[in-house]
Structure formats: structure tokens, C-alpha cells
Amino acid sequence: MNGRLILSLLLLTASVVSFSQEKSPRKSKKHDAAITEKGLIKVSVMYPFAEGKTFNMEYYETKHMPMVAGFLGSNLVKYTIEKGLGSGIPNQPLPYMAIGTFYVKSLTEYQAAIAPNRDAIRADFANYTSIAPVILVSEVVR
Amino acid sequence: MNGRLILSLLLLTASVVSFSQEKSPRKSKKHDAAITEKGLIKVSVMYPFAEGKTFNMEYYETKHMPMVAGFLGSNLVKYTIEKGLGSGIPNQPLPYMAIGTFYVKSLTEYQAAIAPNRDAIRADFANYTSIAPVILVSEVVR
């Protein structure tokens, strides 16, 4: 009898603990997801489309972006790559063939990390594109 | 005795269910985080900077973007807003004052949802900006 009672209590405790464990990681994940990007600095390297220009997405994804990301250390929160498909406005040309974006915590740290590696980064351009990129520095508002 | 046994079994079941519920959302969240963006379509509405042009970020964030997002239903995975800070290339002007981006699962569904609301969306432009936006449709590669 006493054994059963203890077992019941243990199981009750286990299910309560399990329930609260279930809640807290979900909450903190949600919290993270909401906070992670807001306030971060984005450095977007945008490759304008033009007739005759080339862009090798495979090289960009497997070599160039990982190389640059490697220079940024813990200041880099994440990086993304997107492939331009078209303009959202009828009869307008594709604005960009590709965009690579670094999400960083500090612009100053980003610049300090890139400066000594600028030549290596620029020298690699010829390996995947004939386009001179436009760079936008922005802040994530939401 | 029989009652206790049933109670114990119920609690055991409850804790197992609770445990499996705890696991599955975490797993699927992780799965989502890795997959969520890759393959999604981004519709980026970009507002080019030019001398004398205005952009009211508060109106954009609290009224315009929520209105458009409301038209997109479950096709919309998330939307983001960024504020242009500068060009990443010395002596180059700021490329964009602001960018609003919709991450959707289907471009066709996006277009079908926007078409009947295009006039309302355009009519709202004057409430926050004097800039004609550029729109890029792209695919998240990573």
C-alpha cells in the first residue's frame, strides 16, 4: 500500500517535472527567436543583375561565403545566401542575381575583422563572379 | 488496491505522454530552424535612398507591414523589417533607406493574395514614404 502510494507520488512528480521541462525550453526558444535578429547588424552583399554577367552559386556557397564567415568569429550570428528569381514588379528586370548576408552583433568588430582580409576576399571574387557588388549595412528593426 | 494500480498506470501514461510531447516539438522546432528558411521565397520590398525622400519607419512597422502580412494567411512564414544605415563601400551613398521582407512558402499563393489588395497597399504608400520601391523575389539557398 505504502509502496504504491510512493510510486504514485513519484510518477506525479515525474510528470510535473516533465511538464515544466517541456514548458521552459519552448519559452526560452521563443524568447531567443524574438530577440536574436532584432537589433542585429546585417551586412548584405548584393550582386546586381546585368546582361552577360555571371555568378557561380555553387562556388559562392561552398567556398567564398564560408571563407568570409571564418574571418568573423563569434561576432557572426548567422549568414544567409539567396538567389534572385525575378522582379516583383511587371516588366522590371531582376534587381539582383544573388545576395549574401552576414548578421553580426557589432559593425565595428565586423570592419576590424574584414580589414586585414580585404585583399583575400577581393581576390576570390574572380572565382565566382564578374559583378561588382553593392553593399548595404542595415539594422534589423523586426 | 485496484484503484491505486489504475492511478499508477494513469500517471505512468501521463508522464510518458508528457515526455513524448516534450520531445517532439523540440525535435520539430530544430528541424524547422534548419529547414524553415532554406527553399522559402523572399519578397523584399526595398526603398532606395535619395536626397529629399522620406520614410516613416514607425508607420511602416506598426501599420503598413502588419496590414500586408494580414493578407498573406498561412503562406507567410515570417516577415522582417530593416533600416538602412550606410553603404559598406567607402564614399558610396546609402543604397536603401528601408527593406521589408516577406518569407513565403509559395510565390503563386503570394501573388494570388496580393492581387485583390494591390490598390489598398499602394494607397497606403503615401502614408509613410515618397519613395517608389524596388521589389526582389528570391529563393533562400541557405
Res B3: pLDDT: 57
Residues ≥6 apart with Cβ < 8 Å to B94:
A136, B49, B84, B85, B86, B87
**CATH no., domain B38-139:** 3.30.70.100
- Residue written as cell 510531447? B21
Interface of A with B in 27-86 (CB under 8 A): 29, 37, 41-43, 45-46, 57, 61, 80-86
Q: Chain A residue closest to B43 (CA)?
A: A88
Any A CB within 8 A of B130 CB: no
Contact between chains at B83 and A26 (C-beta distance less than 8 A): no
d(Cα A106, Cα A42) in Å, to the nearest integer?
10
Give the cell for residue B94: 546609402
C-alpha distance from residue B56 to each of A14, A61, B62, B64 (Å)? 53, 36, 10, 10
Res A99: pLDDT: 98
Inter-residue contact A82 to B139 (CB < 8 Å): yes
d(Cα A84, Cα B107) in Å, to the nearest integer?
13
How many CA atoms lie less than 13 Å away from B27 in the CB half-sphere?
6
Global pTM exceeds 0.80: no
Domain ranges of chain B: 1-37, 38-139
More confident call, B39 vs B12: B39
Write the pLDDT tens digit of every residue in B81-112.
999 999 999 999 999 999 999 999 999 999 99
Q: B95 to chain A: which residues are within 8 Å by CB?
A: 46, 134-136
Backbone phi, psi, residue B72, to 5°: -95, -15
Torsion angle, alpha carbons of A111, A116, A119, A124, to 10: -70
Write the pLDDT tens digit of every residue in A65-80.
999 999 999 999 999 9
* Model confidence at B13: pLDDT above 50: no
Give the cell for residue A42: 546585417
Q: Which of the listed ranges A29-43, B17-31, B76-90 does the model predict with the highest average pLDDT?
A: B76-90
